[in-house]
Amino acid sequence: MTATPDNATLDPQQTIAELRRKLDESRAELAARNSAYSERIAYQAAANDVLKVMSASPGDPQPVFDLIVERARDLCGGYGATVYQFDGTLIHWRAATGVSDNPSARQAIQAMYPMGPTREWPPGRAIIERQIIHISDLETEPGLTPAMRGLTVKSAVLVPLMRVGLPIGVLSLGSRERGGFTDTQIELLKTFAEQAVIAIGSAETYRALQTRTTDLQESLQQQTATADVLKVISRSAFDLETVLDALLSSACRLCEADIGTIRYKEGDEFRLAATFGCKPEWIEHFRRYSTKPDRSSVFGRTIAEGHIVHIPDLLADPDYKRPEAQKLMGVKAALGVPLAREGEAFGVINLFRFNVSSFEDRQIELVQTFADQAVIAIENARLFDEVQAKTRDLTESLQQQTATGDVLKVISRSAFDLQKVLDTLAESACRLCDAYDAVILLREGEFLRIAAHYGEIPVVDKWPVSRAWIGGRAVVDRMPVHVHDLLAEEAEFPMAHAFAQQTGHRTLFAVPLMREQDVIGAIIIRRTEVRPFTDKQIELVQTFADQAVIAIENVRLFNEVQARTNDLSESLQQQTATADVLKVISRSTFDLSAVLNTLVEISCSTLRSRRGISPTIGGYNLRSSRELRLFSRFPRVYANESDHARARYRGRSRRSRGQDHSHSGRFSRSGIRLRRRPENWWISYAAWRSSDARRRCHRRLGFRALYIATVHTKADRAGVHLRRPGRDRHRKHAAV
């Protein structure tokens, strides 16, 4: 009876104890579950935070790395965490917290990076083995570098960042305690590692996308700029200055250059063809350095080396020696791209910046494209200029040939009309040489007289042969003279300078007219402005000078032939007249009147005289010899005389009897005049002094020239008068 209550009392106590134990177990399990749930919630919150940061900075993984090391340290109860990034060759330190309590030790470790992966360093071991490395005690772990001993961190776990089976980094977590981390903590680290991989990939993708977008934008800008330049080239294909300005402006804008220049070779100098962003004094400075390229300048070095010259820091370049340019403009970086044709650099595109910086490869490539376009533009302009010059030459040649042909036509049609030929030459020289006038002068002794003139500039009819003026110097020196500005040559040409001040002509060219070694004249062309004549124009004037000489020589030869022909004709006439006289004498031996009449008629015909008088007229009253008195018995003989004029002459003859101032009297009488002059006289009435009465008689009869030939009878002479209206122009007296 007594045992039963005791057992009853014991059972409730045990039950309560058991219930309490179970309650504690349930509470512990609940606490563990709550802790696990809290960890998961914290892990999930940390992961969400990482995702938020990742989305906020898609192109930069650094904020993600910074957040991961903080959350890993806090959630895993570690001392510090570190993120490393592996580029395939080196390990780079990206983010860290709590490496060591000693700042110098942390700095020393950080300074070792980047480094190659090795097993002596835990990050390198994780990358090499491509698996999680869990080190419970860094002090006792074999194979580690001594630098890992004595650190604040005593244990560590390293999770590789794997992408497509390849390591791209490491997430490391350290603890002050030996023993390491739990599996849950390691799982959390694996989650953070995956997020780091995603962040790295996202950043790379974003950067690639941004780069691609930037490249596309730059390509679009470059294509747009190239298209704009091509438009300028197509619209202004032969306006080289406009094309080069557009090229340089686009190059500077797209390559972020502050100033730029384009030079290319013309003759012996490298001409400054285009500038961008330059002040006037800078342009003047660039122009001074255009003759001899050398290594002391970017331009000279590019020409000398024949390839691209890129200097990010001019002040640090030992060969750059342009202190004046540096002081004047303050440029710090430079790029020189050659303009090459057939492998030889003949020009340069120079770009400058005011700050020390490098030009990107794409920018350099773009400038090369612009350089190729500049070469095309320069070559097109050169070819166009050559075609234009050739066209002008052909046009000028055609004009010159046409003018030469016209002159030759004039010469052929008016071969012996010298004035017409010279007028045509002067007009052609003035018109084809773009001169204001042309003058042809012919030499007369020590003077040059104008033979032809075309133009409006005043001229002087007569100039002395002297070196004091252009035409005279050409004649004296026997060579062409080209004066660019006569007003600036006062000391050299004083006479011409004084005349130029009155007429206003400035530029002159004179060429002598040469006939073998003799100078017979000159051709002068003039302009009223300072504009020298071209080689083509000078050559054309020399051609006209040769044609003028030919024309003058043709006329001279023609006159000589004409004179010779006239002489032969006169000789034939004289021989024929002599034969006729001999025939008359032989037929009328004792008929003196017929003979004398025939002589007078033949004399008049030979000398083309209108009147002839027999010898008895000249000696009738003035000779006392027996022969002359004998001749006076014969009737007087006239030829081509009217009865009225004959009667008037008879009356005058009687009135002048006994006087010795008549022509026949003067000639017949012996004395000083017969010794000083030849016996046969051809005299002009205006040049011979006669009595007033005889002069009035001659005027009434209408003749001007008088010829008297003596008729010798043994030692005596009688006179023959031949009169002709007009001046003395011929000397055909031998027959008479």
Closest CA to 709 of 700, 696, 701, 718: 718
Between residues 143 and 221, the one the model is more confident about? 143
Q: Which helix H or strand E contains 160, and what residues bound it? A: strand 155-163
Tell me the per-residue pLDDT of 293-316, one tens digit each, with 9 for 90 and over. 777 888 888 988 888 999 999 888
- What pLDDT, on the 0 to 100 scale, is given for residue 702? 61
pLDDT higher for 59 or 451? 451
Pairing of strands 462-464, 447-455: antiparallel
Task: Please compute the mean of the pLDDT values over residues 28-39 and round it to a whole number.
Answer: 76
Per-residue pLDDT at 660: 47
pLDDT number for residue 574 = 79
Round to whole Å and give the CA distance between 432 and 541: 9
Angle 225-227-230 (CA atoms, 0-180°, nearest 5)?
Answer: 110
219-224: long-range contacts (C-beta < 8 A, 24 or more apart)? 221/254, 222/254, 222/366, 222/369
Residue 685 predicted with pLDDT over 50? no
CA dist 35 and 170 (Å) reads 28
Q: List C-alpha distances in Å: 84 to 49, 93, 94, 116, 399.
A: 20, 5, 5, 12, 86
**With 60 as the cut, is the pLDDT of residue 270 above it?**
yes
Res. 462: pLDDT tops 60: yes
> pTM of the entire structure?
0.49
User: Is there a contact between 488 and 511 (Cβ–Cβ < 8 Å)?
Assistant: no
CA distance 460 to 458: 7
- The β-bridge partners of 509 are 482, 525
Residue 711 scores a pLDDT above 50: yes
Would you say 533 and 525 are in contact if contact means Cβ atoms under 8 Å apart?
A: yes
Could you tell me which residues come within 8 angstroms of residue 350 by beta carbon, excluding any fewer than 6 positions away? 260, 261, 262, 263, 298, 299, 302, 334, 335, 336
Contact partners, residue 335, CB within 8 Å, separation at least 6: 255, 257, 298, 308, 309, 310, 311, 350, 351, 352, 359, 363, 364, 367
Helix (H) or strand (E) holding 471: helix 470-477
Whether the per-residue pLDDT at 552 is higher than 90: the answer is: no
Say if residues 652 and 663 touch (Cβ distance below 8 Å).
no
pLDDT at residue 668 in the model: 44
Q: Which of 21-25, 55-59, 390-394, 407-411 has the lowest mean pLDDT?
A: 407-411
Q: What is the reported pLDDT for 511? A: 94
Q: Which of 212-221, 237-246, 643-652 has the lowest mean pLDDT?
A: 643-652
Is 57:45 a contact under the CB 8 Å cutoff? no
Q: In 10 A of CB 57, how many CB atoms? A: 16
CB-count burial class (<10 Å; 0-12, 13-18, 19+) for 519: middle
Residue type, 21: R
The tens digit of pLDDT for each residue in 357-397 reads 999 988 898 899 889 888 888 888 888 888 888 888 888 77
Q: How far is the C-alpha of 116 from the C-alpha of 104, rounded, in Å?
A: 22
Provide the pLDDT confidence category of residue 661 given band limits of 50, 70 and 90.
very low
Least confident range from 228-242, 450-464, 519-533, 540-554: namely 228-242
pLDDT cut 90: percent of the chain above it: 19
> Taking Cα atoms as reference points, which of 562, 518, 516 lies closest to residue 416?
562
Task: Give 85's contacts (C-beta < 8 A, 6+ positions apart).
Answer: 91, 92, 94, 161, 168, 169, 200
Q: Can you state the angle between helices 692-701 and 643-655, rounded to 10 degrees?
A: 170
What is residue 286's three-state secondary structure? Answer: helix
How much is the pLDDT for 693?
54
| More confident site: 415 or 281 | 281
Which amino acid, 569?
A: S
Least Cα distance to 360 among 200, 223, 229, 214 occurs for 214
Given the DSSP bridges, would you call strands 344-353 and 437-444 parallel, antiparallel or unpaired? Answer: unpaired
DSSP string covering 342-388? TTEEEEEEEEEESS--PPPHHHHHHHHHHHHHHHHHHHHHHHHHHHH
Residues 401-423 have a mean pLDDT of 78
Strand order in the sheet with 133-135: 91-97, 80-86, 166-175, 155-163, 133-135
> Cα–Cα distances in Å, from 657 out to 618, 620, 652?
11, 9, 9
Strand ranges across the sheet with 344-353: 269-276, 259-266, 344-353, 333-341, 309-311
Q: How far apart are CA 434 and CA 537, in angstroms?
A: 9
pLDDT reported for residue 24: 84
**Chain centre to alpha carbon of residue 372:** 20
Sign of torsion over alpha carbons 253, 254, 258, 264: negative
Share of the chain above pLDDT 70, in %: 78
Q: What is the pLDDT of residue 220?
A: 81
pLDDT tens profile 107-152: 888 888 899 999 998 999 999 999 999 998 888 888 888 877 777 7
pLDDT at 212: 85
Q: Select, from the ranges 220-234, 249-263, 635-649, the one with the highest average predicted confidence (pLDDT).
A: 249-263
Read out DSSP for 481-527? EEES-GGG-TTT-HHHHHHHHHH---EEEEEEEEETTEEEEEEEEEE
The span from the CA of 197 to the CA of 720, in Å, is 146
Residue 132 has a pLDDT of 92
| DSSP letters spanning 648-709 | HHHHHHHHTTT-S-SHHHHHHS-SHHHHHS-SSEEEEGGGS---HHHHHHHHHHT--EEEEE
The per-residue pLDDT for 694 is: 57
Q: Say yes or no to pLDDT of 438 above 90.
A: yes
Tell how strand 91-97 and strand 447-455 pair up: unpaired
Task: Give the confidence band of 527 by pLDDT, cuts at 50, 70, 90.
Answer: very high
Query: Quick one: pLDDT at residue 108?
Result: 81
Confidence tier at 533 by pLDDT (50, 70, 90): very high
Say if residue 629's pLDDT is above 50: no
562-600 confidence digits (pLDDT tens): 888 888 888 888 788 788 878 877 877 667 777 777 777
Measured between alpha carbons, how far is 513 from 470 in angstroms, rounded to an integer? 14
What average pLDDT does range 613-639 have in this prediction?
A: 40
Q: What is the pLDDT of residue 206?
A: 85
Q: For residue 264, which of 349, 383, 360 has the smallest C-alpha distance?
A: 349
Alpha-carbon distance of 584 to 587, in angstroms, equals: 5
Residue 181: phi, psi to the nearest 5? -125, 160
- Residue 608 is predicted with a pLDDT of 63
- Other beta carbons less than 10 A from residue 176's beta carbon: 15
On the question of pLDDT at 667 being above 90, the answer is no
